[in-house]
Copies of this chain bind each other. A is one copy, B any other.
Amino acid sequence: MAEIIRIHQHKESFNEAIKDLSNLCSEDLHSINTLVLEKLDSSVPLIQEIGKYLILSGGKRLRPLLTTSCFHILNSDLTNNINHIGLAAAVEFIHAATLLHDDVVDLSKDRRGKLTANEVWSNKTSVLVGDFLFSRSFQLMTKYGTMETLKILSDTSVIISEGEVLEISNDKNLEINEDTYFQVINGKTASLFSAACQVGGISGGAKENEQKALKSFGTNFGMAFQLIDDAIDYSSNFETMGKNIGDDFKEGKITLPIILAYGRSNKEEKKFLKTVISKPDENENNFNLTKKLLTKYNCIKDTMIRANHFADIAIESLSIFRDNEYKSALIKLIETSIKRLA
């Protein structure tokens, strides 16, 4: 029981860290939301409807927050021709587009407790509205950015889609190595975190070393964030006393805890893992047996060690900036994101 409370407290503190950052950036966040809403406008009603369903569903706006806080971390009062609000909105549109397409690819039925768009409308609608959001993001970048920010964001889009294809190319492949898996999650999560930070910095007039620092910060934060997510998926017993089976397990997804477990398993255990991953189900017994293997081979612990490695680098990268409230808030964000599973 003590453990349940602890985890809940940690979750709270991550949400609090997001809230603190949102408060710091509240004016910007308001402008970003206004712009996002404005740019969901379309002569085609279905686009507005789905766009609003998705984007206004109470997401944390983590990526646009990264853009705007990396703008402010520079203590800049720069008014150049690059608009960090517009770029933050572009980042949110890319993110929304990938969510729509991801849910089609994964055949997901719910996200954050709400039916997915593909479930409410259809897969084909999600594909096309995703294309719209993606196109809209490039329109925003063209309007509010420069060739430099365009290069960063279009390169990132390539990395995102390569990561996604790499992931489905390795579907059910338990022998995928850690480096390949890192390439996948770099595409899935870290590259957009990274670009979000970098373009925020550029909007604030970041010098080359500052840009590099923000890029590194975003990448490493994204890697850590995704790895903790992977580990949380196999830790539902703490929160719900074993009643919920993790989404990744249900979908037979290969994540780091499973990769580590497979590599360390004996022949019989390998066979078991192959079976549960290739034919995923909601069998609680299989889930518990899998978790036992993860415990036996320290896979959650080692996933967290990897996550901490990236988090440390992320925090370190901010050392070149003078202390200010944005820097503190970003550090708190990473620290609490890691402690979601302490």
Using a CB–CB cutoff of 8 Å, the interface residues on chain A facing chain B are 42-47, 98, 101, 104-105, 123-125, 127-129, 131-132, 134-136, 138-139, 141-143, 147, 150-151, 154-155, 157-158, 160-162, 164-166, 168-169, 183
Residues of B near A154 (CB, < 8 A) are 135, 138-139, 141-142
B128 and A47 form a contact (CB under 8 A): no
Determine the residue in chain B with the shortest Cβ distance to A150. Answer: B142
Copies in the complex: 2
Residue of B nearest to A151 (CB): B142
Contact between B139 and A158, CB atoms less than 8 A apart? yes
Q: Contact between B158 and A136 (Cβ–Cβ < 8 Å)?
A: yes
Q: Take A47-B162, A139-B154, A142-B151 as given contacts and tell me if A168 and B125 are in contact as well, using a CB distance cutoff of 8 Å.
A: yes
Q: What are 17 A-B residue pairs whose CB atoms fall within 8 Å in the complex?
A: A43-B166, A104-B124, A105-B127, A125-B165, A125-B168, A127-B127, A128-B168, A129-B161, A129-B165, A132-B161, A134-B157, A135-B157, A136-B158, A138-B138, A138-B150, A138-B157, A141-B154
Known: A98-B131, A123-B123, A143-B151. 12 other contacts (CB 8 A): A44-B165, A44-B169, A101-B127, A104-B123, A104-B124, A131-B160, A131-B161, A132-B161, A135-B160, A139-B151, A139-B157, A142-B150
Report the Cα distance A230→B135, complex, angstroms.
Answer: 27
- B161-A128 in contact (CB<8A): yes
Known: A123-B123, A135-B154, A161-B135. A44 touches B142 (CB 8 A): no
Known: A104-B127, A105-B127. A158 touches B142 (CB 8 A): no
Whether A44 contacts B162 in the complex (CB less than 8 A), given A154-B138, A154-B139, A157-B135, comes out as: yes
Q: Which chain B residues lie closer than 8 Å to A169 at the CB level? A: 44-46
Selected contact of A165 from candidates B46, B98, B101, CB within 8 Å: B46
Query: CA–CA, A127 to B183, complex, Å?
Result: 20
Out of B139, B147, B151, B162, which one reaches A43, CB within 8 Å?
A: B162
Distance to closest chain B CB from A215 (angstroms): 17
Report the nearest B residue to A45, measured CB to CB: B169
Nearest 6 interchain pairs by C-beta: A135-B157, A132-B161, A138-B154, A105-B124, A131-B161, A135-B158
Chain B residues contacting A183 (CB-CB under 8 Å) are: 43
Residues of B within 8 A of A155 (CB): 139
**In the complex the two chains form, is B42's CB within 8 Å of A162's CB?**
yes
Asked if B165 and A132 make an inter-chain contact with CB atoms under 8 angstroms apart, the answer reads yes
Indicate whether A168 sits within 8 Å of B124 (C-beta atoms), given known contacts A139-B158, A142-B150. yes
Q: A249 vs B168: C-alpha distance in the bound complex, in angstroms? A: 34
Give A40 Cβ to nearest chain B Cβ, in Å: 12
Q: Are B165 and A128 in contact (CB under 8 A)?
A: yes
Residue from A98, A147, A165 with most neighbouring chain B CB atoms (10 Å): A165
Cα of A138 to Cα of B138 in the assembled complex, Å: 8
Pick from B136, B143, B165: contact of A47, CB under 8 Å: B165
Within the assembled complex, what's the spacing in Å between the Cα atoms of A141 and B43? 26
